[in-house]
Amino acid sequence: MQKSDALDLEGGIFKSGNAEDIAQSLKRSSLASKRRRGTPYQSAMSMLNFYINRAGKNLPKSRRAVLEAAKGKLREAFGRPR
């Protein structure tokens, strides 16, 4: 972990039931991180996609919907068009 380029995330952020909270937390973490390789937007979206992919089929539809909505909120937070 000491040599990892992964973001330092707030604890339990992916358990939040609010897409806006998830997106804002990822944005804060990616902007504050000195260990990322890409842009803050790329790093934040990458962490969100990584979590969704790792959860796989075990992720309930309601949780997946919140996380997918967080992608849209993250795009908005960084001023990126869809």
User: Quick one: which of 69, 22, 65 has its CA closest to 47?
Assistant: 22
The string of DSSP letters for the chain reads -TT-----PPTTGGG-S-HHHHHHHHHHHHHH-SS-SS-HHHHHHHHHHHHHHHHGGGS-HHHHHHHHHHHHHHHHHTT---
Instruction: Say if 50 falls within a structural domain.
Output: yes
Give the pLDDT confidence of 23-32 residue by residue, as tens digits: 999 998 888 8
pLDDT at site 77: 93
Domain count, the chain: 1
Instruction: Say if 53 falls within a structural domain.
Output: yes
Which pTM value belongs to this model? 0.82
Which of the four pLDDT bands, split at 50, 70 and 90, describes residue 1? very low
Instruction: Say if 62 falls within a structural domain.
Output: yes
Which of the four pLDDT bands, split at 50, 70 and 90, describes residue 6? low
Instruction: Say if 25 falls within a structural domain.
Output: yes
Provide the residue range defining the domain that includes 38.
13-77
Instruction: Say if 1 falls within a structural domain.
Output: no
